[in-house]
Amino acid sequence: MPTYRDLKSVAYLEAILNYAGRLLNVEFQPIGKMRFRSACPFHADARNSFRVYVDGGDEVRFHCLGECARGWDIFDLIMLRERCGFIEAQRRLAEFLGVADFIPLTEKPLSAEKDGHAA
């Protein structure tokens, strides 16, 4: 059974890009292998400083190289935009991905929180 980590993995990259694009109202442009960019949805951005990449742990990550200078995972973005908790963010992404059963994590890991965006 998939875990919350599986839901945000490179295996779902295309679906995560689609979900995040709709959620944030942005269009991602490819800039390399498994790397994308768009205008940052959190500030006025004419330089396309918002990046999507796959990290060394095969996790899809988002980062603003501009004014925000912060990073997020897909669950952080869902919680910010949908104003929901971590478990609900996992459920929403799983539903979008068509994953009926998964093993949720009950609390957001602290290492990921310190990288989050204060809304």
User: Do 19 and 62 touch, CB atoms closer than 8 A?
Assistant: no
* d(C-alpha 82, C-alpha 64), whole Å: 19
Cβ neighbourhood burial of 2 (10 Å; 0-12, 13-18, 19+): middle
pLDDT in tens, 61-116: 999 999 999 999 999 999 999 999 999 999 999 999 999 998 888 877 765 444 44
pTM score above 0.95: no
Name all domains of the chain by residue range, CATH numbers in brackets.
Answer: 4-100 (3.90.580.10)
User: Do 58 and 72 touch, CB atoms closer than 8 A?
Assistant: no
Contacts of 31 (CB under 8 A, 6+ apart): 37, 51
